[in-house]
Amino acid sequence: MKKDIEEIIRNLGKISKSIGDKNVLVTGGAGFLGSWICEVLVEQGAKVTCLDNLASGLESNISSMRDKGNFKFIEHDITQPIFFDVPIDVVMHLASRASPFEFEKYPIQILKANTLGIWVALGIAKEHGARFLYTSTSEIYGDANEIPTTEEYRGNVNPIGPRSCYDEAKRCGESYVIAYKNQHGLDTRIARIFNTYGPRMRAEGVYGRVIPRFVEQALGNNPITIFGEGTQTRSFCYVTDQVEGLLKLAFSEGAKGEVVNIGSTKEITILSLAKLINELTNSSSKMEFHPLPKDDPQRRNPDISKAKKLLGWGPKVELEVGLMRTIERF
Ligand code: UDP
């Protein structure tokens, strides 16, 4: 992990220097992406306040930072008001459950994190005159029929389907951000995150996403659970690339007000992904086919030309390399 953090800092280039003197509030800071972000910020000398209600985040994700003088953890649900008497320069709002199994079990909490929660987080940014970064998602595009998908695409979302709590909440979250930008002149940035994977992503129960699930199944020589025929596609971005993109968007002077896709352009079917993970783990697992969940998007692949032009960002870690780094951590 230390090498991964160093790699992110190297790739941030001159942006990394503008991080050190900042006071940063990270909501969802004990989650998968939040904890990686906190680690880079802390390493660069920023004063980091990490807020998390530990609903899907884990204390173990932030344990290495707990004794650092420039890191503070507050267990708090961002849907409830909270006030700070210390300066805050940047608010990064990452708090939200994000796994499709959680959409079924906790739809109300997901809606609240991205509506009431973003309202509280934006209020903090307004009060402190802070910059605001929102982690939105490729899910705002729904089952996209424009592939690769650009930031201009308006989406194909089922407002009453099983994924609606996430898709519509994130769309509403974006609307909040734009409202605070327009009405109060806040410096805002919206990242639309496409599928990301790597160490700390959870495999178990309702938290499980496809890559950690397949890796754990393959390592245990258990059946690999393919939903549908596995012809649906995703484009998987390794966590170091994703975190670099998010930090470049948050800390670049020229990105004020922008909405940017951050993800990998390498599209792969879920069946090919399963076979690749089987190979990389030398597993004897068999493929086991299960019904495809309703509204599971058929294809997902971003157009990232805006991120390239605006931030000089593009993914660097090949899928096989990122998968091997993830497998080692399991
Ligand atoms: N998937 C699968 N088997 C699993 C878990 C997921 O085939 O055990 C599929 C899922 O139906 C989807 C893709 O893998 O098409 C990615 O699922 P994930 O939960 O990672 O997130 P999503 O991209 O759907 O938000």
Q: Would 185 be classed as within a structural domain? A: yes
Q: For residue 180, report the distance from its CA to the centre of ligand 1, in Å.
A: 34
Residue 188's pLDDT is 98
Q: Whose CA is nearest to atom 23 of ligand 1?
A: 195
Q: Would 214 be classed as within a structural domain? A: no
Q: Would 283 be classed as within a structural domain? A: no
DSSP string, 175-228: HHHHHHHHHH---EEEEEE--EE-TT---SGGG--HHHHHHHHHHTTPPEEEET
pLDDT over 90 (residue 164): yes
What's the CA gap between 220 and 215, in Å, rounded? 9
Residue 202's pLDDT is 96
- Name the burial class of residue 168, with classes exposed (0-12), middle (13-18) and buried (19+) by CB atoms within 10 angstroms of its CB: buried
CATH label of the domain that carries residue 245: 3.40.50.720
**pLDDT by residue (tens digit) across 89-112?**
999 999 999 999 999 999 999 999
Question: Pocket residues for ligand 1 (CB within 6 Å)?
Answer: 99-100, 195, 209-210, 213, 225-227, 232, 234, 270, 293, 296
Q: Would 142 be classed as within a structural domain? A: yes
pLDDT over 90 (residue 6): yes
Contact 19, 41 (CB under 8 A): yes
Q: Would 70 be classed as within a structural domain? A: yes
Q: Supply the range of the domain harboring residue 43.
A: 2-195+237-264+301-316
Q: Is 166 a catalytic residue?
A: yes
pTM of the predicted model as reported, rounded to 2 decimal places: 0.98
Biggest CA-to-CA distance, the chain: 58
Q: Would 118 be classed as within a structural domain? A: yes
Structural element, H or E, at residue 259? strand 259-262
**pLDDT by residue (tens digit) across 13-31?**
999 999 999 999 999 999 9
Instruction: From the CA of 208, give the closest atom in ligand 1.
Output: 19
CA distances from 276 to 215, 299, 315 (A): 10, 19, 20
- Residues 6 or more apart from 190 whose CB is under 8 A from it? 133, 134, 136, 174, 177, 258, 259, 260
pLDDT over 90 (residue 1): no
Q: What is the mean pLDDT of the chain?
A: 97
Q: Would 201 be classed as within a structural domain? A: no
**pLDDT by residue (tens digit) across 237-268?**
999 999 999 999 999 999 999 999 999 999 99
> Which of 197, 210, 232 is the best mutation target for the ligand 1 pocket, counting ligand atoms within 8 Å of the beta carbon and taking the most?
210
Q: Would 178 be classed as within a structural domain? A: yes
Number of domains forming the structure of the chain: 1
